[in-house]
Amino acid sequence: GAGVSQSPSNKVTEKGKDVELRCDPISGHTALYWYRQSLGQGLEFLIYFQGNSAPDKSGLPSDRFSAERTGGSVSTLTIQRTQQEDSAVYLCASSFGWGGPETQYFGPGTRLLVL
């Protein structure tokens, strides 16, 4: 596609509910990243997928967070039993993943509000 897309743009949920956030990377990009950004803060790395390799999950804040990437393309970030502190903008990015210096291309983000 023309760029990285994310859905939904905004999500309001109640504490304790599960949410799924979707990311469609740029076609041909083998690397995909998820970040979280709290209001007025920098980006917090969550998880990184590179081709068929095992994902780097070292940034996931708790076992309530999980992500998968099907067919090396679309990725879904799932947050179970949401808490108010999960409220943030969740950003997805993709890159070529060719091993050299890389630019990451970001989607517009999903703004999550947990009430």
- List residues near other proteins by CB under 8 A: 4, 31, 33, 35, 37, 39, 41-45, 48, 50, 56, 89, 91, 93, 95, 97, 99, 101-109, 111
What is the distance between the alpha carbons of residues 7 and 11, in angstroms, rounded to a whole number? Answer: 9
How far apart are CB 43 and other proteins at their closest, in Å?
4
| Contact yes or no for 79/61 (Cβ under 8 A) | no
Considering the complex, state which of residue 20 and residue 56 has its C-beta at the smaller distance from other proteins.
56
Task: Specify the residue, 43 or 80, whose C-beta has the smaller distance to other proteins.
Answer: 43
- Phi-psi region at 72: left, alpha or beta (left = phi > 0; alpha = psi -120 to 50): left
